[in-house]
Amino acid sequence: MRAVVYDQPGSFTVRDVPTPEPGSGDVLVRTTAAGMCGTDLHLHEGQFLANFPLTPGHETVGEVAAVGADATDGDGGALSVGQQVVINPNSSCRACAYCTEERPWLCESFAGIGSSTPGGFADYVLVPGAQLFDATGIDLDLAVFAEPSACIAHLMDRLHPLTGCSVVVFGAGPTGVLLTQFLRMAGASSVVLADPNEFKLSVAALLSPIGTFVMNRHDVPGSMAALVEKFGAFDVVIDATGKAAVVESLPQVARNGGRIVYYGVTDESDLVSISPFEIFRRELTIMGSFTEVDSFPDALAAFRSGAIRTDGLITHRYPVQDYGDALEALRGDRTAHKIVITP
């Protein structure tokens, strides 16, 4: 089968590798679509728990190609060849202190398909059955957003309750756009999406009733001041940009007693300066939200409810052999929204 293979950070080829055989409990999935996101750029640089050699791809939809002995899906259901499934890339050890406290996303041996083991930028992926979820009847262009949506469902759990909260999200990438819809579903009274990219803001505004704000990327503090002037300060402030300049300015737009969430992936080496006196005096809460382990059922239920729309989000599709072009678009193409790798 064809697969993207990184032998070391920054250096990959698309080549033929042996198609894996499913052992007991495992399932071979034929990839039908695999989404790219900013995490793939971090993996490209060797950050983010990357294990080499590596085949990335952690947002994968596919069809069951072969079922190993005794394999069932994440809901304990039977799997049949040809069935559409989504892959939960994340797994925990189920034995460490965090896992036994039922907080598996904090697991000390957290592992990811597409970062620690081979992922979906390949014709086939080998997956433990328990990490598969039935996606029968869900449009492929929605199903491919299952993994980022599951991470958002986990964040919604952490932010519960959101009823009556005013929320601002920085970053109108696919994750920011999905976030605004999950926030509305969770009962936020108002949601504003802020980004310098007017194209991405306009796509988001077509999908759900939100306010939008065009930032000036060269003057983040000035943009923050103008944002508060227009909408007032916010109960919940979420960064989905991973840009240090934005992260640093978040307290500026929070109401006293507000919650600030680091959700975007910054560079591992980034440092920002925050006034501890301001956090103390204004009783601000700063929290991180990293990933999910057990939130796929929530994401799929949201999809099946009809509350989540992704029309217009996928702007670029590349066959796996053109992975290099896809990376270039992810890095620099301002008209690229979601980029999807297809067989």
Asked if 92 is part of the footprint of Zn ion (rule: CB under 5 A), the reply reads: yes
Residue 231 has phi, psi (to 5 degrees) of -115, -10
Binding of residue 135 to Zn ion (CB under 5 A): no
Q: Least CB distance from residue 164 to Zn ion, whole Å?
A: 30
> To the nearest whole angstrom, how small is the minimum distance from the Cβ of residue 148 to Zn ion?
5
Per-residue interface string for the shown chain with Zn ion, residues 254-273, x marking contact by CB under 5 A:
--------------------
Does 291 bind Zn ion (CB under 5 A)? Our answer is no
| Footprint (CB under 5 A) of Zn ion, residues 174-203 | none
Q: How many CB atoms lie within 10 A of CB 334?
A: 10
Burial of 268 (0-12, 13-18, 19+ CB in 10 A): exposed
For residues 178 and 172, is the Cβ–Cβ distance under 8 A? no
37 binds Zn ion (CB under 5 A): yes
Classify strands 285-288 and 254-262 as parallel, antiparallel or unpaired: parallel
Tokens of 247: 């992260």
Task: Please provide the size of the chain in residues.
Answer: 343
Q: Closest Cα partner for 181 from 154, 205, 213? A: 205
DSSP conformational letter for 203:
H
Among 39, 131, 291, 310, binds Zn ion (CB under 5 A): 39
Four-residue CA torsion sign, 211, 144, 38, 102: positive
Q: Which is nearer to Zn ion, 244 or 293 (CB)?
A: 293
Q: Which of 93, 140, 185, 233 binds Zn ion (CB under 5 A)?
A: 93
Residues 310-329 that bind Zn ion (CB under 5 A): none
With contacts defined by CB under 5 A, name the span among 39-47, 192-200, 218-226, 330-338 that binds Zn ion: 39-47
Q: Kindly tell me which residue out of 1, 14, 96, 214 binds Zn ion, with binding defined by CB under 5 A.
A: 96
Amino acid at site 23: G
- Decide if residue 90 touches Zn ion (CB under 5 A): no
Q: Name which of 277, 22, 260 is nearest 126 in CA terms.
A: 22
- 241 is a site residue for Zn ion (CB under 5 A): no
Span interacting with Zn ion, options 1-9, 100-108, 214-222, 224-232, rule CB under 5 A: 100-108
d(CA 170, CA 268): 19
Q: Is position 106 an interface residue for Zn ion (rule: CB under 5 A)?
A: no
Q: Please, which residue, 37 or 142, has the CB nearer to Zn ion?
A: 37
Binding site for Zn ion (CB under 5 A): 37, 39, 92-93, 96, 99, 107
